[in-house]
Structure 1
Amino acid sequence: MIAAAPASGPLWQQVLVALAVFAAALHVLHDRAPGLLRRLRLGLARRLLAGRAPLARLLGRWVAPPPPAGSGQTACGACQKAGCAPRPADHMRNTP
């Protein structure tokens, strides 16, 4: 007969400790290597969004990091058209 390994505690305690360690590792990764964390999130989001399952796509949108601050997005929705937003010189003109 094969003997089972002795448990060091109830399963819920082990799961709770594992979640705490995982959360601490994510916090350290966020503080020390934000670029690496962003690349990991992008990779995971791409894999999830490539699938057909609606739940996977929803998770992919949730996991995806926000766009960088200087990504060229404007108040008009970042359409990148010439007439979308007024140029800075247009605000400075004095028109009678």
Structure 2
Amino acid sequence: MAIISAISTMISVWLWGGIFSFIYLYFKSRKEIKIAGLESVHLCAIFIIFAAVGVPIFLMDFFNFDKEEDENEELDYDEELVEELEELKEIIEVILISFKK
């Protein structure tokens, strides 16, 4: 019984790590999501990806020290993140089209 309890706890931590990292990403980059034109279908797919990846993506975002913050930026949003979200949107649309067939 202890092994089952430990495994269920590990799975729970893994899923909650993914859920919290998705929530963090969503609230941190709402402008970028809006600019990239992501719809609820895309956000649901990203949520599933984050839940599957879990804790590593949660830790990767918080311990990302190599990203330098430029305080003199002219834009309110991150252009690189918008481009990545647009690419992700295209990939999700291809996957959705393949599921419809």
Structure number with the bigger relative contact order (C-alpha 8 A, sep ≥ 6) is 2
Query: Which structure shows the bigger proportion of residues in helix conformation?
Result: 2
* TM-score tier (shorter): 0.3 to 0.5
Task: Answer with 1 or 2: which has the greater Rg.
Answer: 1
TM-score normalised by the chain length of structure 1: 0.36
TM-score normalised by the chain length of structure 2: 0.35
